[in-house]
């Protein structure tokens, strides 16, 4: 049973820049630079038929290429942080693409996404993150700004069986007009 998600790859220079801001957060598991990406639609473990249906529905998405920009950092989990991320500035084209991925998932018979979409690149995950260490990291990296980059395709990723983590494999790639 494959564990799938759709998303955007990041250019090498962007992944390198993001990997250079790693901080001292006890218990943080930093995402390997090669696995940094932006998730558009997490699917999870699905059977082969649903995986093929989702891939086929993604192939029907038609949209023009566009630029996105990474600006700032943040954390999920509030007083009990479980992840730190680089924020992606919302833009209409990105919102449109993400909504198309949601529609593709529904057309493939997948459950609705459990959380509203918040564009980001996960930098690290934590089981028992210390709020003070995360706050310090966010203070040190909050002014992160990366030049806009062109999004010319999106991909269907698979995660390592069992853990759901990297390394991630590109199962299919879809070109934007």
Cβ density class 109-135: b for 16+ within 10 Å, e for less: ebeeeeeebebbbbbbbbeebeeebbe
Weakest-pLDDT range from 58-62, 79-83, 120-124, 163-167: 163-167
In the predicted model, what is the mean pLDDT of the chain? 93
Q: What pLDDT score was predicted for residue 160?
A: 72
The pLDDT-based confidence of 161 (bands split at 50, 70, 90) is low
Answer whether the bond into residue 81 is a cis peptide, omega within 30°.
no
Residue pair 131/151 in contact by the 8 Å Cβ criterion: no
Q: State how far the Cα of 29 lies from the Cα of 39, in Å rounded to an integer.
A: 18
Q: What pLDDT score was predicted for residue 7?
A: 97
pLDDT tens digits, 106-125: 999 999 888 899 999 999 99
Where do we find the tokens 């609705």? 112
Looking at domain 3-175, its CATH architecture is Alpha-Beta Complex (3.90)
What average pLDDT does range 63-90 have in this prediction? 96
Nearest residue to 4 via CA among 116, 120, 155, 153: 155
The pLDDT-based confidence of 23 (bands split at 50, 70, 90) is confident
42 conformational bin, left if phi > 0, alpha if psi -120 to 50, beta if neither: beta
**pTM reported for the whole predicted model:** 0.93
């Amino acid at each position: 049973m494959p564990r799938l998600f759709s998303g955007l790859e990041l250019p090498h220079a962007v992944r390198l820049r993001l990997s250079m801001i790693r901080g001292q957060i006890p218990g943080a598991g930093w995402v390997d630079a090669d696995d940094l990406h932006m998730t558009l639609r997490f699917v999870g473990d699905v059977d082969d038929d649903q995986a093929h249906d989702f891939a086929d529905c993604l192939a029907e998405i038609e949209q023009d290429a566009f630029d996105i920009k990474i600006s700032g950092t943040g954390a999920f989990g509030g007083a009990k942080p479980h992840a730190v991320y680089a924020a992606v500035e919302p833009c209409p084209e990105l919102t449109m693409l993400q909504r198309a991925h949601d529609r593709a998932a529904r057309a493939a018979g997948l459950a609705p996404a459990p959380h509203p979409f918040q564009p980001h690149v996960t930098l690290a995950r934590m089981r028992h993150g210390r709020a003070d260490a995360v706050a310090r990291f966010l203070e040190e990296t909050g002014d992160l700004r990366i030049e806009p980059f062109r999004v010319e395709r999106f991909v269907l990723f698979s995660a390592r069986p069992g853990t759901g983590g990297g390394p991630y494999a590109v199962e299919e790639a879809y070109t934007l007009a």
